[in-house]
Structure 1
Amino acid sequence: MTRAANVLAGVGMLCTGGAMAMGMLGNSRPTELTFRDAAHQSTPVMVDGLTINGAAMGSFPTLASSSWMNPRGGKATLTRLAWPDDNAQIIDVHAEWTEIETGRAYEADISVPWGELHVEDVVGLTAYVTVVYGRNGEFMLFTDADPDPKTGQYNGREVTRVCGKRTPNRDQNYGLRVNEIPGLGRLIERRDQWMAVPDIETSCTGEAG
Structure 2
Amino acid sequence: MWKTQETHIILNLFSSIYQRIRDHEDRAILLGLSMVFLSVMMYFVLGITILRSYSDSVWTDEDCCTIVNSTIVWDVNCSYSCGVECWKSSRYPCLQVYVSLNSSGRLVRLLHNEETHDSNPECFYIPKCHKDYAATHAMVQDISQRLRTQLTVQCYVDPTEKADSAIMTQIYGRIAVFHSLFWPTCSLIGGTVIIAMVKLTQYLSIMCERLSRIKR
Larger helix proportion of the pair: 2
With the length of structure 2 as denominator, give the TM-score of the two structures.
Answer: 0.26
Higher RCO (C-alpha 8 Å, min separation 6): 2
Structure with max Cα Rg = 2
With the length of structure 1 as denominator, give the TM-score of the two structures.
Answer: 0.26
